[in-house]
Amino acid sequence: MSMYRMLQLCAILLLAATSWSIDSSSCIHPTSVATNIICSCRSHHHHQRQQQPESYTDLAYCEIRDTFKEMPPFAQSDQRHYQVTFSGGRIGRIQEDALIDIDVIELTFDRVSIGHIDDYALSVHAGILSELTFAKNEFSNFRPQIFEGLYRLQKVNISYNDLSEFDLSVMQPLNSITNLVLEHDNIKSINPGWFSKLSNLVDLRLTENDITRLSAGVFSGLSSLKYLDIDNNRLTDISADAVNNSLFLKSISMAQNRLTSIPGTLFRRTPILETVDLRGNRLNNISSEIFRGLIYLRNLHIEDNRITRIDRDAFKDLTRLREIRLSNNLIQTFEGHRLFANNIILDTIELANCSLNDINGDVFRGLYKVRNIDLSGNHLKRLPNDLLANMTTLQTFNVRNSKLDFIQSDAGLFESMFQMKWLILDGNRISNIPAELFRNARRIENVVLRKNSISAINPAAFYHLENTKTLDLSENYIVTLDPKLFSSMSHLTNLDISINKITDLAEGLFTGNPILSTLMLNNNLITNLGKNVISSLSKLQYLSLANNKIQHVVEEAFSGATELVSVDFANNNIRLLRGATFSGGPFPRLRQLLFSGNELRRLEDGLLTTLTGQGLFGNFSTNNLTHLNVKIFGPKSSAQYFDFRDNRIDCISADVSERVLDRKLRLYLAGNPLICDCSLAWVGVVAKNCRPTVEACFADESRCDNLPSETIFSYNYDDCINATSYCPRIDHSVASQSIDVMLSFILIVKMFLISRCLSDVVYV
């Protein structure tokens, strides 16, 4: 069947469709004709099922991927609306009558190499075509006749083409369009008058081109324009009259260009502007003229420039301003004046990375509605006590990485923090936390003091933080924690004290934190974990004590923490885990148990029996374990995974086989000195009976230490009498007890003989 006939058949079947859903009875299946034609039926009425959709509500969709010398005509239409997409391939010519018999409402040429478009080829749809897209094509020969008569067209997208020599005046016939996208088109300049007849245009996007200048009157005639986007061009110069008479302009974006200055009267004829975006340019100062009269401006972006100076009255008229972003500039100081005095409804102020070396106490005075202030990445060293005075609505205060080395201790700085959610002070040089710092800041929810130089914390420092949920003290130099330091923080859920120099945890340290769910104590110098440190935390889910110097974990250490999900003791010095370590359970939610990188020599029987959760992963790799038996594992009903790689295991008891074969236990065993002999005969039985493959039972290819070319489940155990043999190794606990008894017996015998000898001597 020819491609011409296939396309006809596709169109006919589409026209015959009566159901809005994609169904083989009403729409052609992609593979039923050819793989390069995709057709389906769609409806705009997805919220209700209709047996017989009304005319002009059912949108048929056809995507065509092929190469044509000329576009083949479609079959006769039944007044259905169509969305037609040509994707990939090449069309040598789009002739005048190609689409004459089909009502196309959306027409897209995506990544199609088009040789030629006849004059008036698209005008046959003048009464219905509303969206036209030429994206990523190799066509630039647009002429006025191509767009002639398309009086219903609203959206035009000509993106990712080469229009470097394109005369945009050819689009003047499109006086009905409201949206025009000309992105990534290598456009180098725009001449005045090119858009003069597009009086209905609302949204114009010219991003990612090579435009260097906007001359006077360049957008004249765009009397309805509301949104203008010229981001990511090469603009170096703008005429003061570039947007003259754009009375309805609401948003203008000229971000990521090369502008060094803005004409003082540029926005004088755009009285209702709400958003101005000038970020990512090379502006060096903001004069008092630029934003004069913009009383409706709500969002101002001037970040990522080279601004060193801002005039005192630069923002004076912006009485409705809600967001101002000035980050990543070179401002250094505000010279004592109240820059935001008239912006009383400001919500967000961003002054991050501005090289500020000083900030006066009244710079934010009167901003009673501000919610977010970002002063991070500056050189402030200190914060005035009245900086945040009366800011009762402040929710986020960020002073990260600002070289602060001192915070006043008289509680003045945070005294009005009634809605504070985030206080971010990490990455500074703060060395101590005074007792009264948070006295009037009872409602702060999250306090971040990470990566400072804190070595001393007053025992009463956090006494007033009764509503705090997160406290981050990681990456400091804390050595000791007062037993009552966190006692009043009853709402604390996340506590991070990792990467410090803590050596000991006092029993009862966390008794005042009944809903604590995450506790990070990793990378300290802790040597012991007492019985009553963790057991009181009934809501604890995530516990990390990795990279400490813990040698011993007491029995029932976790008895009350039955909600645990993850326990991490990796890289400590633990040698033995008693069978009662996790008694007091069960622990049905535990999914991760990490004890890798310790000095474990033995796991006592019953160790994991209270860990009943499905999908538990236990990591005991890189230890000194020598053998395994089934008694250490959890219930038979739980599917669990254990990593025993890189230990000294040379034998695994056959009682493990049933659990492995039932897929309830999966082991990682690589890197152990396993000896392939009859003591591992059960492995051969499991390997033969495991379905669908042996990998379903064994997690890795563990090799025989005595036969490196063999894996433990490929070794031939046929000469073994049975597969139920146990490790010949005597259990260490039994062995040690037997040796102790034997030594005691020998000692008694020796003492008896010596006493007899001495008695004989005395008698003589």
CA distance 310 to 138: 47
Under DSSP, is residue 3 helix (H, G, I), strand (E, B) or coil?
A: helix
The C-alpha torsion from 702 through 708 and 710 to 713, rounded to 10°, is: -30
634 pLDDT tier (thresholds 50, 70, 90): confident
* % residues pLDDT > 70 (the chain): 82
Angle at 333 between CA 329 and CA 334, to 5 degrees: 105
* Better-scored residue on pLDDT, 290 or 167: 290
37-43 and 58-64 strand pairing: antiparallel
CA distance 684 to 725: 12
How many helices (H) and strands (E) are present in the chain, helices listed first?
7, 42
Lowest mean pLDDT among 16-25, 289-298, 409-418: 16-25
Q: Are 564 and 543 in contact (CB under 8 A)?
A: yes
CA dihedral for 578, 579, 582, 584, sign (positive or negative): negative
End-to-end CA distance of the chain: 127
CA diameter of the chain: 140
CA distance 521 to 340: 43
- Per-residue pLDDT tens over the stretch 73-88: 554 444 455 788 888 8
- Per-residue pLDDT tens over the stretch 313-338: 999 999 999 999 999 999 988 765 78
DSSP assignment, residue 476? S
603 pLDDT tier (thresholds 50, 70, 90): very high
Per the DSSP assignment, residues forming a β-bridge with 448 are: 424, 472
309-310 and 396-398 strand pairing: unpaired
pTM (two decimals): 0.81
Domain ranges of the chain: 1-153
Predicted pLDDT at 183: 96
* % residues pLDDT > 90 (the chain): 48
- Map tokens 């400091």 to a residue: 476
Angle at 89 between CA 84 and CA 94, to 5 degrees: 60
**Burial of 480 (C-beta count, 10 Å sphere; 0-12/13-18/19+):** middle
Lowest mean pLDDT among 81-90, 252-261, 392-401, 626-635: 81-90
Which ranges in 36-112 belong to alpha helices (H)? Answer: none
Q: Is the pLDDT of residue 43 over 70?
A: no
